[in-house]
Amino acid sequence: MSRVTPTGGADPSAVGPDPWLLRVRGAVLLAACADALGAPFEGLAAVDVAAVDHLLETPPPLRWTDDTALTLALAEHLVRRGGDVDQDELASAFAAEWAAGPDLGYGAGVAAQFARIVAGESWVATSQEAFGGTGSYGNGAAMRVAPVGLLPGLPLAEVARRARRSAQITHAHPLAQDGAVAQAVAVAVAARSRQDTPIDTDLFLAAVATRLRTPQFRSALSIVRVLARRRATPGQIAEAVGNGVAAVESVPAALAVFLADPQRPHDVVRSAIQVGGDTDTIAAMAAAMCGARCGEQGLPVLWGLRLADTRRLWQVSSALAAVDSDRSGGRRPSTRTDQH
């Protein structure tokens, strides 16, 4: 809010950035940094901590991968549609994003789906037919979903509904869809959390769990609750919930890393990479939660300077923070709402 000067005019120097915009930028930029920082370690069972620290502190540019590319595609879609998810249009947007840069590290199954969509097939068929008809249980729907949780003032039930609709396009398996719902709701709750108050882990996880459909995902969250309370190490987290590309492993792993130390973006990213396995995606998801809580102010300065291809990230953050969610079933923006 602008201050009024003694002469009655608005003091432009007193106009601060919109607090919700800072949360959106924090989530989008930190997740892109984490995606890039985690990528060199993807697939390693054991991550060398010294190598992680070296990469975190040295100057080379941070080049993001498919996680961020599809996050941008989804964010731009939400902006175009006033916060809504139009599944046909979003399927085309995802496939076009893949076609523009197919070498960014996409999962094999989802890449095959995008190729079929580009060739004119319906996402309804390609999604359901993946992996012999079981549908993908990968974390690809969760890794791109943060923008749904960053729509201003959207009720959490609506965040969950739109997250699931965005997932269905490529991930027909219920565990992948629960992964996307969990990630989007976690980002939304983190973005609404008061920065001067510690996160209540039980309330936070209850807000997520209540929107899930599978008992398997809910029981993974009950393990996260124990891990977060114990402030578990990355190794303990990998041991307890897994670190693989399956959404039911990597999303709980990201939640456990974030909840163990939600105030420190640098340490959250460092720990997430140390979990091993799907490092770029676990780091990007934990970073989206942490950036949504800590805001742009929490972004390590060196990482911000190293981050490559930032133009779309900045543009879409501003546009996303300005979406009028009222028009698509939301309410007015606020950063000071309850945690659930």
Instruction: Supply the minimum distance, in Å, between the C-beta of residue 284 and Mg ion.
Output: 8
- Residue 58 corresponds to which tokens in the numbers above? 């040295």
Stretch that binds Mg ion, among 8-16, 129-137, 145-153, 271-279 (CB under 5 A): 271-279
Q: Is 178 in the site for Mg ion (CB under 5 A)?
A: no
CB 169 within 8 A of CB 127: yes
CA distance 182 to 50: 32
Stretch that binds Mg ion, among 122-130, 178-186, 265-273, 274-282 (CB under 5 A): 274-282
Interface ranges with ligand AR6 (CB under 6 A): 65-67, 105-110, 131, 134, 136-140, 143, 173, 245, 278, 280-281
Instruction: Supply the minimum distance, in Å, between the C-beta of residue 71 and ligand AR6.
Output: 11
324 backbone dihedrals φ, ψ, rounded to 5°: -90, 90
**Nearest one of 106, 64, 40 to 273, comparing CA atoms:** 40
The entry of Mg ion, ligand AR6, none near residue 201 (CB within 5 to 8 angstroms by kind) is none
CB 33 within 8 A of CB 287: yes
Which residue is nearest to ligand AR6, using beta carbons? 140
Instruction: Supply the minimum distance, in Å, between the C-beta of residue 259 and ligand AR6.
Output: 21
The entry of ligand AR6, Mg ion, none near residue 205 (CB within 5 to 8 angstroms by kind) is none
The entry of ligand AR6, Mg ion, none near residue 109 (CB within 5 to 8 angstroms by kind) is ligand AR6
- Interaction residues for Mg ion, span 307-336 (CB under 5 A): none
**Which of residues 186 and 294 has its CB atom nearest to ligand AR6 in the complex?**
186
CA distance 241 to 252: 7
Candidates 76, 84, 178, 278: give the one binding Mg ion (CB under 5 A): 278
Q: Is 249 in the site for Mg ion (CB under 5 A)?
A: no
**Which of residues 67 and 158 has its CB atom nearest to ligand AR6 in the complex?**
67
Name the E strands within 207-314: none
**Which of residues 178 and 278 has its CB atom nearest to Mg ion in the complex?**
278
Instruction: Supply the minimum distance, in Å, between the C-beta of residue 255 and ligand AR6.
Output: 16
CB 121 within 8 A of CB 170: no
**Which of residues 66 and 84 has its CB atom nearest to ligand AR6 in the complex?**
66
Residue with tokens 């920065």, as numbered in its chain: 195
CA distance 122 to 169: 9
Q: Which residues pair with 10 in a beta bridge?
A: 4
Stretch that binds Mg ion, among 7-15, 106-114, 200-208, 276-284 (CB under 5 A): 276-284
The entry of Mg ion, ligand AR6, none near residue 158 (CB within 5 to 8 angstroms by kind) is none
Torsion angle of alpha carbons 50, 51, 57, 59, nearest 10°?
Answer: 150
Q: Is 66 in the site for Mg ion (CB under 5 A)?
A: no
CB 169 within 8 A of CB 191: no
Query: Measured in whole angstroms, how far is the alpha carbon of residue 12 from the centre of its chain?
Result: 34
- Residue 192 corresponds to which tokens in the numbers above? 């609404």
**Which of residues 134 and 263 has its CB atom nearest to ligand AR6 in the complex?**
134
Residue with tokens 């964010």, as numbered in its chain: 75
Q: Is 281 in the site for Mg ion (CB under 5 A)?
A: yes
Instruction: Supply the minimum distance, in Å, between the C-beta of residue 331 and ligand AR6.
Output: 32
**Which of residues 201 and 250 has its CB atom nearest to ligand AR6 in the complex?**
250
Stretch that binds Mg ion, among 43-51, 183-191, 223-231, 281-289 (CB under 5 A): 281-289
Query: Measured in whole angstroms, how far is the alpha carbon of residue 92 from the centre of its chain?
Result: 21
Instruction: Supply the minimum distance, in Å, between the C-beta of residue 104 and ligand AR6.
Output: 9
3-state SS, residue 117: helix
3-state SS, residue 140: helix
CB 272 within 8 A of CB 234: yes
3-state SS, residue 14: helix
Return residues touching Mg ion (CB under 5 A). 278, 280-281
